[in-house]
Amino acid sequence: MWDYSDKVKEHFFKPKNAGAVVDANAIGEVGSISCGDALRLTLKVNPETEIIEESGFQTFGCGSAIASSSVLTEIIKGMTIDEALKVTNQDIANELDGLPPEKMHCSVMGREALQAAVANYRGVEWKDDHEEGALICKCFAIDAVMIEEMIWANKLRTVEDVTNFTKAGGGCAACHEDIEAILEKVLAEKGEKFDATVSTAPVEKTEVEKVKTPLTSVQRIKKIEEVLNSLRPQLMADGGDVELVEVVGNTVYVNMTGACNGCQMAAMTIAGIQQRLMEVLGEFLRVVPASEMKKLVNIEGAGHA
Amino acid sequence: MPDIYLDNNATTKVDPAVVDVMIPFFLEQYGNPSSIHKFADGVAKALKKARGQVQELIGAEHDSEIIFTSCGTESDSTAILSAIKAQPNRKEIITTMVEHPAILNLCENLEKEGYTIHRLPVDKCGRLNIEAYKKMLSDQVAIVSVMWANNETGTIFPVVEMAEMANAAGVMFHTDAVQAVGKIPMMLQDTKIDMLSISGHKLHAPKGIGVLYLRRGTRYRPLLRGGHQERGRRAGTENTASIVGLGKACEMAMEHMEYENVQVKAMRDRLERGIIEEIPHSFITGDLNNRLPNTTDIAFEYIEGEAILMLLNKAGIAASSGSACTSGSLEPSHVMRAMQIPYTAAHGTIRFSFSRYNTMSEVDEVLKVMPDIVAVLRKLSPYWDSQNNIPVANPEAAFTPTFK
């Protein structure tokens, strides 16, 4: 059985706001019975203040789907719709004291239903921007469709590339065989051949050129520092720290110290830092422990030669 | 009321009598059966006795046809990989769409290596099309592997007839019988089955012990090579305590065969009848006239299996589900999909599987709580009209999500 938090159990066994709101003026429906998850969110929004006065849910789904729906209706009650739109799936998961990775899509469904309901209220069409495929990486909840799209869009060639771009495979590594199979399939569709022995990714120049606001190298390093600083409190709470050592091309070398150093979670922490850096700087960056600096610099040097 | 365990197709409680016979092999007779000293004295003899007890339960002709393995999955892998290694020119395998992952995932992997896998479909009651099977048999087929009974629905397949047909076509036949052994009588010496897999923990022996039955004269290649154990057919020091335990469990299964097929079946029948009568929009899946006596798989429409299991668990009742969510995948069980159970029901299937440890009063307890559990979840479901207590008209159309 899943390791559900007490909060999840509480919201599952005693769901809040179950059922449809009478006189709802915002309705959002996501999922379908064939997917095994479906959620209808009904809201009563005050047209004057745009405050969500009542919220209700009807859910076909597993324990965490019902709990996510229940907690969502509690979170958004009393918010304006603009405030409600800022609620992320992570907020929903946090409010439940976390969800198992395989169940994170339940919180995503909650956020999507909310967006759909607001779109319905405003009379606009809401389009979902992702299609769900078979779950590949259970550590980070990444599905096959997402991986395929990233391979196509970013010309990825190795499992390491896929991990760098999607986080998939960055945790327990159990899905590496599946990722290889996807690479093989997509590369075959592109008329290329998957070669498991290629160890480093040929980083596409176009990726780098795509950066919208070019930074000077000083600005860039400052920005990277800024991101690391923002993450520092979180790391220190776990008894660790991170230090920027060097930036070479798109590789950011860091020292993980304290509890982070050698900790099993270091790889995951690094993946998290990398994700955040990429989001802020808008470019592809690879975060690597400084201990690997020499080795990687050599390989990169060889690659550019 | 103490907790009620109705998940015996997943695994079973080790019978206390089985534990008793095992303990001396941990604490006293712990010698390696290959050794020549008093710590090993009785061990080889005990293994021989256990081999005989397994032989008796499945009706094998010789006790040397029993090879002890670590689990049902190892037995399955050994059987199939042996068949293709021994017959390198045969590049096809016949199996079914409803096999256990131990067979399906292995076959999928072999497919990548260039093997052609024929997966027999089933009808809506989970039955195989024997005519279609007959046409697939050829001298290209290395092995047929068909389960004796399905783990989810309990549906029994005509493996004895299918083995005859394979034999007539000169094709090896394997059956994954982990759910069937101990629940239905079998006499392998009268069949053409070449290989058969047993899993100890499905019949009140411990986990980590299995058997591959290998008919004398069947061409064979070991999976594990090394020492001379199991006559060189499965290297590795024998799991002596577990083997002795499995022997005892087989002996007890033999003794309880009638009980299983009369009393246990009566409990199962009463549970499923009670549920179908009490709960609208529920139905039993599989071949109702041809099932294991201990298994029932019931679909509850418009609700989801994991949610049902969580409420059952809260009521102290253990069962399992073919829903997507319990496995972490997004699709309901391959067995439900193969039987074309509609999605409105496939996500809400619950399997109750009994053993000789269950009682009629436990059945009554389940019948007492089940209607409320279903009602609570249907009340939450967007596909259920709570006011009229019926499904919404045309559920697929009534619910129009912005995307699917």
**Residue B321: which CATH number?**
3.90.1150.10
Where residue B226 sits, what CATH number does that domain have? 3.40.640.10
Residue numbers in A near B109 (CB within 8 A): none
Note whether B41 and B75 are same-domain residues: yes
Note whether B40 and B150 are same-domain residues: yes
In a domain, B93, yes or no: yes
Q: What share of chain B is helix, strand, coil (3-state, %, to 5)?
A: 45, 15, 40
Which residues lie below 8 Å from residue B92, measured CB to CB, with a gap of 6+? B115, B116, B117, B118, B136, B138, B140, B141, B142
Domain range for B120 is: 16-255
Shortest Cα distance, chain B CAs vs residue A129, angstroms: 10
Cβ contact A58–B332 (<8 Å): no
For B380, which of A1, A66, A132 is closest by C-beta distance? A66
Tens digit of pLDDT at every position of chain A (305 positions): 678 999 999 999 999 999 999 999 999 998 877 767 889 999 999 999 999 999 999 999 889 999 999 999 999 999 999 999 999 888 999 999 998 877 877 888 888 899 999 999 998 876 655 556 778 887 777 888 888 888 888 888 889 888 888 778 877 788 898 999 999 999 998 888 888 776 544 443 333 333 456 788 888 888 888 888 887 877 777 677 888 988 888 888 888 777 655 554 565 577 778 878 887 887 778 888 887 776 544 444 444 43
For A60, which of B302, B313, B332 is closest by C-beta distance? B302
Which residues lie below 8 Å from residue B300, measured CB to CB, with a gap of 6+? B279, B281, B282, B308, B345, B348, B349, B350, B374
Annotation says B250 is catalytic = no
Give the count of domains, chain B: 2
Task: Annotate A48-78 with DSSP letters as a single string.
Answer: TT-BEEEEEEEEES-HHHHHHHHHHHHHHTT
In a domain, B7, yes or no: no
Residue numbers in B near A139 (CB within 8 A): none
CA angle B299, A15, A118 (to 5 degrees): 100
Enter the ipTM.
0.82
Boundary-marking domain end, from B193, B227, B255: B255
In a domain, B403, yes or no: no
CA angle B28, B32, B36 (to 5 degrees): 95
**Can you tell me the distance from the alpha carbon of A134 to that of A136, in angstroms, rounded to the nearest whole number?**
6
Note whether B106 and B211 are same-domain residues: yes
Cβ contact B402–A28 (<8 Å): yes
Boundary-marking domain end, from B206, B236, B255: B255
Tens digits of residue pLDDT in B350-378: 999 999 999 999 999 999 999 999 999 99
pLDDT at A257: 75
Cβ contact A33–B343 (<8 Å): yes
**Can you tell me the distance from the alpha carbon of B10 to that of B182, in angstroms, rounded to the nearest whole number?**
15
In a domain, B305, yes or no: yes
Cβ contact A61–B386 (<8 Å): no
Tens digits of residue pLDDT in B100-142: 999 999 999 999 999 999 999 999 999 999 999 999 999 999 9
Q: Which residues of B touch A (CB under 8 A)?
A: 302-307, 309-311, 313-314, 323-326, 328-332, 343-344, 347, 379-383, 386, 395-396, 399-404
DSSP state of A126: -
B382 or B56: whose pLDDT is higher? B56
In B, minimum Cα distance to A178 occurs at B109
Shortest Cα distance, chain B CAs vs residue A100, angstroms: 10
Which residues lie below 8 Å from residue B296, measured CB to CB, with a gap of 6+? B154, B268, B271, B272, B284, B351, B352, B353
Cβ contact B403–A38 (<8 Å): no
Residue numbers in B near A138 (CB within 8 A): 328
Domains present along chain A, CATH in parentheses: 6-122 (3.90.1010.10), 135-202 (1.10.10.1100), 217-304 (3.30.300.130)
Cβ contact A116–B332 (<8 Å): no
For B323, which of A15, A36, A116 is closest by C-beta distance? A36
Handedness of CA A208, A213, A215, A220 (dihedral sign): negative
Note whether B239 and B387 are same-domain residues: no
Cβ contact A36–B325 (<8 Å): yes
In a domain, B362, yes or no: yes
Boundary-marking domain end, from B255, B278, B296: B255
The CA radius of gyration of chain B, in Å to the nearest whole number, is 23
In a domain, B383, yes or no: yes
In A, minimum Cα distance to B349 occurs at A36
**Can you tell me the distance from the alpha carbon of B370 to that of B351, in angstroms, rounded to the nearest whole number?**
13
CA angle B218, B224, B228 (to 5 degrees): 80
In a domain, B4, yes or no: no
Tens digits of residue pLDDT in B48-60: 999 999 999 999 9
**Can you tell me the distance from the alpha carbon of B355 to that of B358, in angstroms, rounded to the nearest whole number?**
6
Q: Which of B41, B15, B159 shows the shortest CA–CA distance to B94?
A: B159
Residue numbers in B near A37 (CB within 8 A): 304, 325
Cβ contact B382–A38 (<8 Å): yes
Mode of pairing for the β-strands spanning A286-289 and B66-69: unpaired
Cβ contact A30–B402 (<8 Å): yes
Shortest Cα distance, chain A CAs vs residue B403, angstroms: 6
Note whether B71 and B216 are same-domain residues: yes
Note whether B39 and B146 are same-domain residues: yes
Q: Are A228 and A256 in contact (CB under 8 A)?
A: no
By CB neighbour count within 10 A (0-12 exposed, 13-18 middle, 19+ buried), where does A199 fall? exposed
- Tally DSSP H helices, then E strands, for chain B: 16, 15
Note whether B251 and B264 are same-domain residues: no
Note whether B140 and B276 are same-domain residues: no
pLDDT at B299: 96
H or E element at residue A222: helix A217-237
For A30, which of B328, B344, B401 is closest by C-beta distance? B401
β-pair partners for B176: B197
Note whether B238 and B263 are same-domain residues: no
Estimate to the nearest angstrom the gap between the alpha carbon of B343 and the chain centroid. Answer: 24
Note whether B272 and B373 are same-domain residues: yes
End-to-end CA distance of chain A: 53
Q: Are A278 and A264 in contact (CB under 8 A)?
A: no
Shortest Cα distance, chain A CAs vs residue B174, angstroms: 28
pLDDT at A160: 87
For B402, which of A29, A64, A132 is closest by C-beta distance? A29
Residue numbers in B near A30 (CB within 8 A): 401-403
CA angle B38, B42, B48 (to 5 degrees): 145
Q: What is the pTM of this model?
A: 0.78
pLDDT at B325: 61
Q: Could you tell me the two tokens for A247?
A: 């930036």
Residue numbers in B near A29 (CB within 8 A): 382, 399-402
Note whether B263 and B250 are same-domain residues: no
β-pair partners for B353: B7, B295
Q: What is the 3-state secondary structure (H, E, C) of B237-303?
A: CCCHHHHHHHHHHHHHHHHCHHHHHHHHHHHHHHHHHHHHHHCCCEEECCCCCCECCCEEEEEECCC
List, by residue number, the catalytic residues of A: 35, 106
Q: Are A103 and A61 in contact (CB under 8 A)?
A: no
Q: Could you tell me the two tokens for A171?
A: 């945790």
For B330, which of A30, A125, A134 is closest by C-beta distance? A134
In a domain, B5, yes or no: no
Number of CB pairs, chain A paired with chain B, less than 8 A apart: 116
The total number of residues written for chain A in this structure? 305
Residues B298-315: what's their mean pLDDT?
94
β-pair partners for A289: A254
Note whether B234 and B323 are same-domain residues: no
